[in-house]
Amino acid sequence: MGVSKYEYLVKLNNAVNDARAMVEYLQRHVENKEDVVYVYDCQSFELHAAFKKFVSLCRPGDFVIIFFAGHGCAFKNHQCLLARGLTTQEKFALNKGKKQLILESSLQVDKMLAKLRMKDVNKHLVLLDCCREFRVADLPRALEETMEEKDKAPFNIHLGEGTVIGYATAPGDRASDGNKGKSGHGYYTEALMNHLHKVNTDVDYMLREVGAEVYRKSGGLQNPHRDSCINEMDAYLFYK
């Protein structure tokens, strides 16, 4: 999933480029390309429809990878992945002319994982190249609110065994979208492309390598984090 052309939030240089690179990467490494579901520059109805299609393809015991590049925020104990806002025409055609608030216009990571677990899909690698700014007020997407440091509070997604989440940045911070016309990718996706393919490399160690590269290239301004609940000794994406 990649969103660059936001209606009300700042447009991004490389989010769709990041998502397309991940789609091409995954399609090279799966038996059936139809198993790779993707959507670009989508509003909320399109975003939810794509995830619903993805869930419908999943079978018990599957291992899934979820990737999102775009705007994100932490709100009401959810990591929210934000779709673009509805245009005026879409508001009347799809939402009775109403503006959408944060939860309406996003996918929430914990709810996504819960839906997958309902289908006995318990192995997940979630890669989020988005910001993790905290929000305290559920305001229309066309508005911006300021936040005092005292209002920020960390939260933890309940992972369950078998899940790893790689975040492009630390809780409460922003992630760089990269420069237009250079690499064509944000720091995090660029680092993923450099390390994701490595064989016989534990996924936790791979994400540590990704984090080290991002931290170095950003001059210490962006510090990726990860949440992991895999208890196997060796968890490889690729092995030989």
Cβ pair 63, 123 in contact under 8 A = yes
- CA–CA distances in Å: residue 51 to residues 9, 47, 68, 108, 149: 22, 6, 11, 11, 34
The predicted model scores a pTM of 0.87
Residue 82 belongs to what H/E stretch?
Answer: strand 78-82
In this prediction, residue 64 carries a pLDDT of 94
What confidence tens digit (pLDDT) does each residue in 98-113 have?
Answer: 988 888 999 999 999 9
More confident residue, 120 or 178: 120
Cα torsion angle, 149, 165, 222, 135, sign: negative
d(CA 79, CA 52): 18
Domains of the chain: 15-229 (3.40.50.1460)
Instruction: Give the CA-trace dihedral at 81, 86, 90, 95, to 10 degrees.
Output: 70
Cβ pair 66, 126 in contact under 8 A = yes
Cβ pair 64, 35 in contact under 8 A = no
Cα torsion angle, 206, 209, 214, 220, sign: positive
> Highest mean pLDDT: which of 33-42, 136-145, 213-222?
33-42
More confident residue, 40 or 232: 40
What confidence tens digit (pLDDT) does each residue in 3-59 have?
Answer: 999 988 888 888 999 999 999 999 998 889 999 999 999 999 999 999 999 999 999
d(CA 235, CA 161): 12
User: Which pLDDT band holds residue 148 (cuts at 50, 70, 90)?
Assistant: very low
Continuous H helices in 30-108: 44-57, 88-94
